[in-house]
């Protein structure tokens, strides 16, 4: 498994990964509360590729998972007491961790999160932050197993039914 920065030619495949994952979530348990055609979508991948923040994990030449790593916190993060005063350029924020349904329960999400932590350390960041739907128990277990500390539960103001409350997590480096 190789993790690398996504390039423009990856946008179609990432868009298909998002659609496949959303189809899978609708047919099983939609832990993150994502909705096909709403989030995540190909345009999210295109934007992140243009910003240089989308990373892909390839297995056998195919994209098995993706993650966006940026310095941009969601507006709702300001509601929480993070216990640290950190400028945006001193932290990595994890967005849109997505694993293709054919690769679920195979360690892809963990590998992407370990990569995010390693990237943050290599860049001299002070912390890694993220938010997760409070109902997304599998993701919460993953983040906590990697040492992320629960900070607070907030409404990030997305205005999407059943996707209002998010748990905020932080890993101090």
Cis peptide before 40 (omega within 30 of 0): yes
Domains and their CATH numbers in the chain: 2-172 (3.40.630.30)
Q: Is the pTM of this model over 0.75?
A: yes
Residue of 99, 98, 94, 164 lying closest to 134 (CA atoms): 164
Taking a C-beta distance cutoff of 8 angstroms, is the pair 130, 169 a contact? Answer: yes
Report the pLDDT value the prediction gives residue 157, as an integer from 0 to 100. Answer: 72
Report the pLDDT value the prediction gives residue 163, as an integer from 0 to 100. Answer: 63
DSSP symbol at 143:
H
Query: Up-side HSE of residue 60: CA atoms within 13 Å toward CB?
Result: 3
Taking a C-beta distance cutoff of 8 angstroms, is the pair 170, 127 a contact? Answer: yes
Report the pLDDT value the prediction gives residue 144, as an integer from 0 to 100. Answer: 98
CA angle 33, 43, 86 (to 5 degrees): 70
In this predicted model, what pLDDT tens digit does every residue of 152-167 receive, in sequence order? 999 887 666 556 789 9
Report the pLDDT value the prediction gives residue 156, as an integer from 0 to 100. Answer: 83
Sheet order of strands, 149-155 included: 2-5, 54-59, 62-70, 91-99, 127-133, 165-172, 149-155
In this predicted model, what pLDDT tens digit does every residue of 106-124 receive, in sequence order? 999 999 999 999 999 999 9
Beta bridge partners of 3: 57
Q: What whole-number distance in Å separates Cα of residue 34 and Cα of residue 71?
A: 22
| pLDDT < 50 stretches in the chain | none
DSSP symbol at 148:
P
């Amino acid at each position: 498994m190789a993790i690398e920065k996504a390039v423009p030619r990856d946008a179609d495949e990432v868009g298909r990964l998002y659609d496949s994952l959303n189809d899978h979530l609708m047919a099983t348990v939609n832990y993150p509360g994502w909705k096909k055609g709403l989030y995540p979508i190909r345009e999210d991948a295109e934007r992140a590729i243009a910003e240089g923040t989308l990373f892909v994990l390839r297995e056998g030449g195919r994209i098995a998972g993706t993650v966006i790593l940026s310095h941009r916190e969601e507006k709702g993060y300001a509601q929480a007491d993070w216990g640290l005063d950190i400028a945006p350029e001193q932290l990595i924020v994890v967005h849109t961790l997505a694993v293709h349904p054919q690769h679920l329960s195979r360690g892809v999400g963990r590998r992407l999160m370990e990569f995010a932590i390693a990237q943050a350390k290599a860049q001299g960041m002070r912390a890694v932050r993220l938010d997760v739907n409070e109902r997304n128990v599998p993701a919460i277990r993953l983040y906590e197993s990697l040492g992320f500390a629960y900070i607070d539960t907030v409404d990030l103001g997305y205005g999407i039914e059943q996707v209002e409350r998010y748990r905020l997590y932080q890993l101090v480096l």
